[in-house]
Chains A and B, each alone.
Chain A
Amino acid sequence: MTDSPAAAQPVVEMEHVDKFFGDLHVLNDINLTVRAGEVVVVIGPSGSGKSTLCRTINRLEGINSGTIKVAGEVLPEEGRELARLRSRVGMVFQSFNLFAHKTVLENVTLGPVKVKKSGTEDAKKRGMELLERVGVANQAAKYPAQLSGGQQQRVAIARALAMDPMVMLFDEPTSALDPEMVNEVLDVMVGLAQRGMTMIVVTHEMGFARKAADRVVFMSDGQIVEEADPESFFTRPQSTRARDFLSKILTH
């Protein structure tokens, strides 16, 4: 990492973002800038809006007011432009969401072939490299259901990486996994962070936050209540809400 994160280009900029589900104010005046190479961990109680925040960044959820820019460009409304932008924002879901009827390798090559219009052979070659990198190259010909949860999630990461994303969004990537599989996924993510990938990660894994995050963002009731470097946040949380929350997750 050569540049200090503060000097780098902003990749994601959220300004005064509000979002409602009916009467529920799920995102309340969110302001968040994530710069190239930064790793931001989003943490907070259930229902605080972490998933929604993630999902607005590639417009899987629309917003009611405010602006969201990716690489300096305001998110397009719908259609081709939006699809083009989404293709540069990688997303990894809690439930993996691999395409069940496609092999592991086909999962990874679908985006490059259909969206980026890469040649099939190139896509396969690059797909195998990525599967190698996340440690599941030997499973390339299998179907998702034949893999363990940890392997599936690593395939999902490779699938997102295949699009050469500018930023990767992770929504609780390890919380659906058996405990013994959590680390194999976190290791891949730490590796990505070290290679300089810009990442927004919703997770309660403090080990990961300490090891890889530049910043922790604490959300509660749709608001960003606190932002700090991981060490300060976990040892000296400023707000009562963060203290309450941390005392609850630390006792488990």
Chain B
Amino acid sequence: MERLMQMLSDYNVLAAFWTTIQLTVYGAIGALVLGTIVAVMRVSPVAVFSRAAALWTNVILYTPLTLIAFFFAFGVLIKMNIRLLPEPPATLLDQHFAMGVVAIAVYHSSLVAEALRSGINTVPLGQAEAARALGLGFGQSLREVILPQAFRGAIAPLGSTLIALCKNTTVVATISVTEAAALMKSMIEFYSDLIVPIFVIMVTGFVILTLPLGMFFTWWSKRAAVLR
């Protein structure tokens, strides 16, 4: 018990999970924006856009997140020296964090785009035609008729994506962002006698983050379902 208290005072578990939460929130916002753009391009009548979107989705869907994270951290940040945050006040660690967010957003944008595309497919084609027949343009039809229904139809898969995203944030431990998994690794190194409690603490942390998300999304997708 004493050892445990000792460890918890040495390591700031809450701060590490706070980093995980930040990665999740920023990553999810980025993935949602990027994924929506990709999904819209995918269904656009312009062939170049829809092909580019299909390529993006398929390449990224089959690429490991670790590779994408390495590409942004060691390639873009270190080798090409492209920095996303103004420095100062940002530190090099902050730059790693930002690249981590970008990697997470890029990777999950393909999952978001696929979820939205499945949502778009639940909207009967006739409604798109009715919108066009009223004189709505492509963008207006999307905004007013297709996407609102597509998002509602995609709430469940978007929820699964968000949970996966939250868990996948651990990958950025490999690019020196001290989130939960990075902390765990270093705790195990110095408190190897406490492996089981460490594991339990970290698992509990992730369950606290993801379980309510899962329940919320299940409830929300039922509530928002479009009556047909």
Contact = CB atoms under 8 A, between A and B. Distances in A.
Contacts of B133: 58, 60, 86, 89-91, 160
A71 to B, nearest CB: 14
Interface residues of B, number: 22
Contact of A97 (B126, B144, B227): B126
B228 A99 contact: no
Contacts of B226: 100-101
Nearest to A79: B137
B196 interface: no
Contacts of B135: 83-88, 111, 115, 163
A168 to B, nearest CB: 11
B228 A145 contact: yes
A97 B130 contact: yes
B152 A99 contact: no
Nearest to B148: A101
Contacts of A100: 123-124, 127, 149, 226-228
A145 B149 CA distance: 14
A13 B103 CA distance: 57
Q: Which of B127, B132, B133 has the most CB of A within 10 A?
A: B133
Interface of B: 123-124, 126-127, 129-137, 140, 144-145, 148-149, 152, 226-228
Q: Which 4 A-B pairs have the closest CB atoms?
A: A87-B135, A145-B227, A97-B126, A97-B130
Interface of A: 58, 60, 79-80, 83-91, 93, 95-101, 110-111, 114-115, 143-146, 156, 159-160, 163
